[in-house]
Amino acid sequence: MATIHDLAPQRRLRRLELTITRRLDGLLHGRYLGLLPGPGSDQAGSREYRPGEDEVRRMDWSVTARTTVPHVRTVDADRELTTWTLVDATPSMDFGTAELEKRELAVAAVAAVGFLTAGTGNRLGAHLLTHGGVRRFPARTGRVHLLGLLRTLLDVPRGRPAVAPVPLAEGIDGLRQTGGRRGLVVVVSDFLDGLPDEGVGGAAGPPPAWEQPLRRLAARHQVLAVQVSDPRERELPDVGLLTLVDPESGRRREVSTGSRRLRERYAAAAAAQRLAVARAIRRSGAAHLPLSTDRDWIADIVRHVFTQRRLAGAARPPTGGTA
């Protein structure tokens, strides 16, 4: 599969657009619940409450009292959709050892969301987290607006920042304060920022700094957390002495990858970190879409779409069901 960095800058976005629209055309058009099922604004009926899956605040108390069985309200999404994206473009995203860098994968994810939620009246806005601060793009309609946003994201300067980047938690809170009426919010990041320094202790460990802001965001909007990663963040190859550099702090450390015990400890710690991030996203109430630079990201998005569509179909009452 051709990668977007194989092409001249002006042609990257065109190739990306063609790739997305050809492989995903028709999946989401007119059916926003296909991307991320969740509450909209129009009442559609009721169904039985599912413990562990449904929010108590969506209880349909009148139907529950009439049937003596707990029910929740089901709703349809608004006809016009406002989508906000928060894209992590800090130095930790300038890394990749496979088909794409994490930054390029983030661009691809935003492009997929933008192209496939495009429609009459639909708007897209964005906040970009960079080492120079937060760049804000108001919600607007049109392909030209989307391509301009993607081009800006591709052109964000690389390298170690002179000042500390804006924390992901602060970026999420800023987006929550900016967003207007209920809509779709997509957060694209590696979610490595804000993890506790003392390690990731699973459910018993301290939560990431961004979990509470993400929870507050999900209380108001439908939220999709797109986590981008690289295989070298999951395991180390045996390549002898390796110098590792933190892209944001500049700290360097030499590691002997010939040690099997070291590689096993690294893989175990990385697995625990991924589990902690996934749990934090789930606790926040956001949908989770992991993407990796060594995988077919479009296939992963397709699988996510079909999974969410099945969930949305199961949540919708049958024709003539309980009103």
Q: pLDDT (tens digit, 9 = 90+) per residue, 262-298?
A: 999 999 999 999 999 999 999 999 999 999 999 999 8
Q: Are 86 and 187 contacting, i.e. CB atoms less than 8 angstroms apart?
A: yes
* Spans of all domains in the chain: 42-76, 80-294
Q: Are strands 287-292 and 42-48 parallel, antiparallel or unpaired?
A: unpaired
- In whole angstroms, give the CA distance from residue 91 to residue 110: 18
* Cβ–Cβ < 8 Å for 127, 156: no
pLDDT in tens, 15-59: 888 888 777 765 544 444 455 554 444 455 677 887 766 667 778
Q: What is the percent of the chain with per-residue pLDDT over 90, rounded to a whole number?
A: 33
Which architecture, in CATH terms, is 80-294? 3-Layer(aba) Sandwich (3.40)
The type of residue at 9 is P
> Distance between CA atoms of 151 and 147, rounded to whole angstroms?
6
| Rounded Cα gap, residues 52 and 54, in angstroms | 6
Alpha-carbon span 48 to 94, nearest angstrom:
46
**How does pLDDT run across 234-252, given as a tens digit for each residue?**
999 998 888 888 777 778 8
pTM of the predicted protein model = 0.79
Average pLDDT of the chain to the nearest whole number: 80
Residue with tokens 């989401």: 28
**What mean pLDDT comes out for the span 299-320?**
71
What letters, b where the CB count within 10 A reaches 16 and e where it falls short, cover 180-210? eebbbbbbbbbbbbbbeeeebeeeebebbbb
Residue labelled with tokens 């406002």: 82
- List CB contacts of 189: < 8 A, sequence separation 6 or more: 86, 87, 88, 93, 106, 129, 168, 225, 226, 227, 228
